[in-house]
Amino acid sequence: MAKSFLKELKAARDEWHSMNHPFIDLWEQGKLTKKQTAVYVVQHYHFVTDYLNWLAYLWATCPEKDVKDSILDNLKEEEDPDDRHLEMLIDYAKACGLKRGDVINAKVLPWTEALKDWGWRFIYQNPWPVSCAALMIGLESQPPQIYTRVVPSLHNNYGWDPGDPKIRFFRGHIAADEIHSARGFQMTAKYCNTPELRRAAIEGVRTAARKRWNHMNGLYRFAVHGKSDDTPE
Ligand SMILES: [Fe+2]
C-alpha cells in the first residue's frame, strides 16, 4: 500500500511537472536572453515568498513534533541570515541586469497570483497532512528536476562558471530540495494514514503541480511575447 501510494503521488505530480514546460526547454537550449530568464526568477521570488509563509502556517497548525522539526529546519535554511534564499534569487536577477527593486516591486503576473491565492486557500481548507503533500511533493519536490536541466545551460550557453555565486540558487536547490522532498514523501506516507487522506493528498499534489504549470505559462507568455494577461485578441 505504502509503495503504491508513493507511486501515485509521483504520478500525480508528473502529469504537469514544470521540468517539462516549454519555458524550461528554451532555457535549456539557451534560446532565452538573460533578461528573459530573470522573469522566471522574479515571479518565483513572489511565489516562494508565500510558500515560506505556507510552511510557517503548517508549522503552527501541525501537532506532530517530527514534522514541526522538519519544517523548522527547512525554514531556517531558507531564512539563513548569512545567505537567505530569496537573496539568491535577487542576486541572479541582478546578474541579468535587473535592480533589487525590479524584483521586489515587480508586477506579479495573474497566473502567479492565482498560484499564491490557491496556496492560501488550500492550506486553510485541508487537513495538515494533505497540505504537507501538496506543498512538499506537488511544489517543492520539483526544483531538483527542473534545475538539473537549467544548470548545465547556465554554464554552456550563458557563460557562468560552475562555481559562480550568482547562479548558486539553481545549483543549491538541486541538492537541498532533494532532501526536503524526501522528507515530504516520508511525512506524507506516515501521516496520510486513511484512504480519505491519501486520496486528498494525491489530488492536492496534482492540483499543486498544475497551478505551478499555469504560473509557468504566464511567465512564458510575458517573457517571450511581452503579454501580461491572456485576454484573447
Ligand atoms: Fe530555498
Per-residue pLDDT of the chain (233 residues; tens, 9 = 90+): 567 999 999 999 999 999 999 999 999 999 999 999 999 999 999 999 999 999 999 999 999 999 999 999 999 999 999 999 999 999 999 999 999 999 999 999 999 999 999 999 999 999 999 999 999 999 999 999 999 999 999 999 999 998 999 999 999 998 776 777 788 999 999 999 999 999 999 999 999 999 999 999 999 999 999 999 888 87
Q: What is the CATH number of the domain that holds 101?
A: 1.20.910.10
How far, in Å, from the CA of 173 to the mean position of ligand 1? 6
Angstrom distance (rounded) from CA 56 to CA 60: 6
| Distance from Cα 132 to the centre of ligand 1, integer Å | 16
The number of distinct structural domains making up the chain is 1
In a domain, 56, yes or no: yes
The confidence score (pLDDT) of residue 224 equals: 98
Q: How far, in Å, is the centroid of ligand 1 from the Cα of 54? A: 14
pLDDT of residue 231: 86
**What spacing in Å lies between the alpha carbon of 35 and ligand 1's midpoint?**
21
Residue written as grid cell 510558500: 51
Q: What is the pLDDT of residue 90?
A: 98
Helix (H/G/I), strand (E/B), else coil: 16? coil
Q: Determine, yes or no, domain membership for 233.
A: no
Q: What is the CA radius of gyration of the chain?
A: 17
Ligand 1 center–CA 47 separation, angstroms = 12
Distance 232 CA to ligand 1 centre (A): 36
Q: Is residue 9 part of a domain?
A: yes
Whether 61 is in a domain gets the answer yes
Prediction pTM value: 0.96
Which residues fall inside 5 Å of ion ligand 1, going by CB? 78, 85
Q: 214 C-alpha vs ligand 1 centroid, how far in Å? A: 21
Task: Confirm if 220 and 109 have CB atoms less than 8 A apart.
Answer: no
Q: Does some domain include residue 197? A: yes
CB 23 within 8 A of CB 220: yes
Q: How many angstroms does the Cα of residue 233 sit away from the middle of ligand 1?
A: 38
| Residue 230 included in any domain | no
- Positive or negative CA dihedral for 217, 125, 145, 171? positive
Cα 218 to ligand 1 centroid, rounded to whole Å:
22
The pLDDT of residue 175: 79
Q: Answer whether residue 232 is part of any domain.
A: no
Print the domain residue range for 40.
2-225
Distance from chain centroid for Cα 232: 28
Instruction: Tell me, in angstroms, the distance from the centre of ligand 1 to residue 56's CA.
Output: 14
Ligand 1 center from residue 1 Cα (angstroms): 32
C-alpha torsion 219→224→229→233, nearest 10: -150
Q: Does residue 231 belong to any structural domain of this protein?
A: no
Kindly tell me the burial class for residue 26, based on how many C-beta atoms sit within 10 Å of its own C-beta (0-12, 13-18, 19 or more): middle
How far apart are the C-alpha atoms of 121 and 165, rounded to whole Å?
A: 36
DSSP string spanning 144-201?
Answer: HHHHHHHHHHHHHTT---TT-GGGHHHHHHHHHHHHHHHHHHHHHHHH--SHHHHHHH
| 78 alpha carbon – ligand 1 mean position (Å) | 5
- Which grid coordinates belong to 96? 541579468
User: 16 C-alpha to center of ligand 1: Å?
Assistant: 21
